[in-house]
Amino acid sequence: MVGYAFMGAAHSQGWRTAGRVFDLPLRPELSVICGRDAQAVQAAADRHGWASAETDWRALIARDDVDLVDICTPGDSHAEIALAALAAGKHVLCEKPLANTVEEAEAMTSAAEAAHARGQIAMVGFNYRRLPATALARRMVAEGRIGTLRHVRLTYLQDWLADPQSPLTWRLRKEQAGSGSLGDLGAHIVDLAQFLAGEQLTGVSALTETFVRRRPLPGAQAGGLSAVAADGTGEVTVDDAALFTGRFPSGALASFEATRYATGRKNALRLELNGERGSLSFDLERLNELWYHDATEPDEHAGFRRILVTEPGHPYLEAWWPPGHGLGYEHTFVHQARDLVHAVAEGRTPEPSFADGLQVQRVLAAVEESAEKNSVFTPIAV
């Protein structure tokens, strides 16, 4: 694994746990974790159960005891590490978004397709596909339970940047993060929309905004940025919020909202799908529940009903606890590890593949292009 912070901890939990819960055809071994700070990465290795630590990802890739490289770094290094790992004959798991640009994602996808012919697997980490409730929703849509899809609505709301005095981190710099809330949160809901609908978006119309354009710099960062003001602030070069609509080939319409400025919302990913025969609704902050409305029932007793997604017949739950004993956020990474191990053992293209990640990258690029064109508003007559 390259990277050991938030995502590194989450992925470590997944790799460490998957073989203890599920019967896997191969056993994951946590060989080596990599980070630039020798002391910090060694502490992470000790905490999360990795056998050793490296400070150079190139040394990690060169090791004979590494079969799969898991990339949990900021987006500006995804392409370089993934391309090198694939060239070295390794399987690859790369956190979302796949890259910072469409061109990087295209190169990664081409390399992944060539590597697949050599028996290598490459997957992008959209973990919210691995929630039992969203996996069940996909199953129900595919089975025709809500009929022809009409509307898909998704929002992903957080508030961790609402304080204008929060410091300028790498997530607020385009050269490292690629984009702001769009890539951080919007990538998740774009992937979920396409996953649930079983279709790919064909076009978008968008607005983006940056609410706080300068932020205080942590002391260690000041020397590394060119746009440092006398007051010790640096420029925010990504979006704070993104609003966009989209269309599917079937004619279904989609709406998306991603922001890190929704005060009071901690991790509010919400979705609703409306079809001719019914609707589905989900809220990540109540992640063991899926709400379903069957529009074919008589009006007298029709309405949304809660499905508690904890039954053994629900996706992933055959190996977990008795019904009613819910799972949490960290379990999505256990399921991700499980699915990737099966793909490696079976030699099949995993889902989501790098090609799926490329499709999301193209949507994100289209959103940015549309937002630039929509920067001049049509005035409303008074």
Mean pLDDT of the chain: 95
Q: What is the pLDDT of residue 8?
A: 97
Asked if 79 and 312 touch (Cβ cutoff 8 Å), the reply is no
The pLDDT confidence band at residue 122, using thresholds 50, 70 and 90, is: very high
What is the token pair recorded at 370? Answer: 């549309």
Query: Considering the chain, what percentage of its residues have pLDDT values greater than 70?
Result: 97
Q: What is the pLDDT of residue 210?
A: 96
pLDDT one-digit tens code per residue, 39-69:
999 999 999 999 999 999 999 999 999 999 9
Architecture in CATH of 132-286+288-327:
2-Layer Sandwich (3.30)
Burial of 153 from C-beta contacts in 10 A (0-12 / 13-18 / 19+): middle
Q: What is the pLDDT of residue 227?
A: 56
| H/E segment holding residue 7 | helix 6-21
pLDDT one-digit tens code per residue, 221-271:
544 555 556 788 999 999 999 999 999 999 999 999 999 999 999 999 999
Q: What is the pLDDT of residue 220?
A: 46
Q: What is the pLDDT of residue 378?
A: 73
DSSP β-bridge partners for residue 71? 2, 94
| Cβ-based neighbours of 90, under 8 Å, separated by 6 or more | 61, 66, 67, 68, 69, 120
Domain at 6-126: CATH code? 3.40.50.720
pLDDT above 90 (res 133): yes
For residues 71, 73, 77 and 83, what is the CA-based torsion angle, rounded to 10 degrees?
0
Q: What is the pLDDT of residue 225?
A: 52
pLDDT one-digit tens code per residue, 313-334:
999 999 999 999 999 999 999 9
| Domains of the chain, residue spans | 6-126, 132-286+288-327
The pLDDT confidence band at residue 377, using thresholds 50, 70 and 90, is: confident
pTM: 0.94
